[in-house]
Amino acid sequence: MKEIKQKCNCGFTLVELAMVLFIVTLLLGAILPPLATQIQQKQIEQTQAQLDEAKEVLFGYMFNQNNVLFTYRLPCPDCRDNTGNCAAMTANDGVEDILGGASCATAEGNLPWTTLGIRENDAWGQRFTYRVTSVFADVTDGANSPGSCTDITLNVSFALCSDGDMTILDGAMGTNIATGIPAIVVSHGKNWADTPSTDETENLNNDANFVYRDFSSDSATGFDDLIIWISPHILRTKMLNAGILP
């Protein structure tokens, strides 16, 4: 008698595959958002640590009179392009750009990472913006502008009465948080290349006003910039304690 062989259907049915894919999708949906949040938080923490380091290094540079101009001063920015006074400079090389050996080629540019010996980019692979009041970074002894300060301090680019020209606000049209700031460093966050909000645009428009406020992921009013600045009062106190300012 001839044996009849039955065909075995051992694979998954389409219904079973659909159920598996549905379950996997649910699991990924539960896992990926928290993972993305953790990655973002780690990037924020890393960048904040870099900003804190940059602040300390800026103070260290200030106290080192063996800099290019042999003057106690803050460094100049690194030019981002070759326009204006930056035409004769090498842009984006991480080296501070000094015009004629006496003053900064630009008030705002890259944080000069090569000059300062720190990392070039933040956690999102972008360079830090750095702005400095010129009288805190030039070779002129104790000069001050703006203001009526006329004190002269030998081998120091600013005087005890000097103030910076930058203002920190809580919004583009908001209230002042700090004034008279001589230097600021900005990380423009993950969305540097995307469309910035009004407050983020204030940190990109090459003027002396900057916004510092809480993080927000809202599409219209989002803000993911991270900022540190040097207080003129802390700077003067450090210089006094070091015996550099009288």
Nearest Cα residue to 121 out of 51, 58, 57, 60: 51
pLDDT at 159 over 90: no
Digit-coded pLDDT (tens) for 12-49: 677 777 777 777 776 666 665 667 778 888 999 999 99
Contact status, residue 165 vs residue 104, Cβ threshold 8 Å: no
Residues 6+ apart with CB under 8 A from 44: 123, 215, 226
Residue 142: partners with Cβ closer than 8 Å, 6 or more residues away: 151, 152, 153, 154, 156, 157, 158, 159, 162
Structure tokens at 21: 């894919």
Query: Which residue type, as a one-letter code, is found at position 135?
Result: V
> pLDDT by residue (tens digit) across 72-105?
899 999 999 999 999 999 999 999 999 987 899 9
What is the pTM assigned to this prediction? 0.83
pLDDT tens profile 218-234: 767 789 999 999 999 99
Through-space distance between the first and last CA atoms of the chain, rounded to whole angstroms: 116
Average pLDDT over residues 179-202: 89
In whole numbers, what is the pLDDT of the chain averaged over residues? 86
What one-character-per-residue DSSP string does the chain give?
-PPPPPPP--S--HHHHHHHHHHHHHHHHHHHHHHHHHHHHHHHHHHHHHHHHHHHHHHHHHH-TTSTTSSB-PPPPBPSSSSGGGGGS-TTSSS--EETTTEES-SEEE--HHHHTS-SB-TTS-BPEEEE-GGGTSSSTT--SSSS-----TTBSS-TT---SEEEESSTTS-EEEEEE-EEEEE--TTTTS---HHHHHTTSSSSEEE----B--TTT-B--EEEEE-HHHHHHHHHHTTS--
Query: What's the residue count for the chain?
Result: 246
